[in-house]
Amino acid sequence: MACVVYPGTFDPITCGHRDLVQRATSLFDKVIVAVAESPSKQPVFTIQERLEMAAQALADIAHVEVKSFDCLLVEFARQHNSWAILRGLRAVSDFDYEFQLAGMNRRLAADIETLFLTPADQFAYISSSLVREVAALGGDVSAFVHPAVEKALQDKID
């Protein structure tokens, strides 16, 4: 069974993330959304909150699992018998960083491939940090996130 790992902080998960997961399910038998603990990034939401939001936002997509991790990504992929890591590219500005990550992962585990997908046009400008900022300033984020995520953002701001 072909499995891909889609890692990220998902602070919070957005419709752009969901778009990539949905499309990845047509390419792989299983998609593992790997929520990184990432304490150095100082996420707004706890790991448990991010896991719950991702599970709710992806609940209707078959063959998707949501798990947390706090180890090397390539080790997580190996633990789950995955030969592939999925990364999203929204813009050319993402490429340099993603290229560096892919190179490091290849050096650490030459048997694990990194694959890139671009989001649908309507999600190309959405990022978790931008969604958090719009929500914090009282803007409507309902077009960018699942309703459960929108509520979690409102609860966090209040």
Assess whether the previous peptide bond of 12 is cis (omega < 30° from 0): yes
Look up 26 and say whether it is catalytic: no
Q: How high is the pLDDT of residue 93?
A: 76
Q: Give pLDDT tens digits for 137-156.
A: 999 999 999 999 999 999 99
pLDDT attached to residue 43: 94
Looking at 18, 50, 87, 128, which residue is catalytic? 128
Verify whether residue 41 is a known catalytic residue: yes
67 tagged catalytic = no
87 belongs to the catalytic site? no
CATH value at residue 112: 3.40.50.620
Catalytic residue among 23, 90, 106, 156: 90
Structurally, the chain folds into a number of domains equal to: 1
Q: How confident is the model at residue 132 (pLDDT cuts 50, 70, 90)?
A: very high
- 53 vs 38, 82, 89, 150, CA distance in Å? 16, 24, 22, 10
Alpha-carbon gap, residue 15 to 123, rounded angstroms? 7
For residue range 50-101, list pLDDT tens digits in order. 999 999 999 999 999 999 999 999 999 999 999 999 999 987 778 889 999 9
- The parent domain of residue 62 ranges over 3-157
Determine the average pLDDT of the residues in 27-31.
Answer: 97
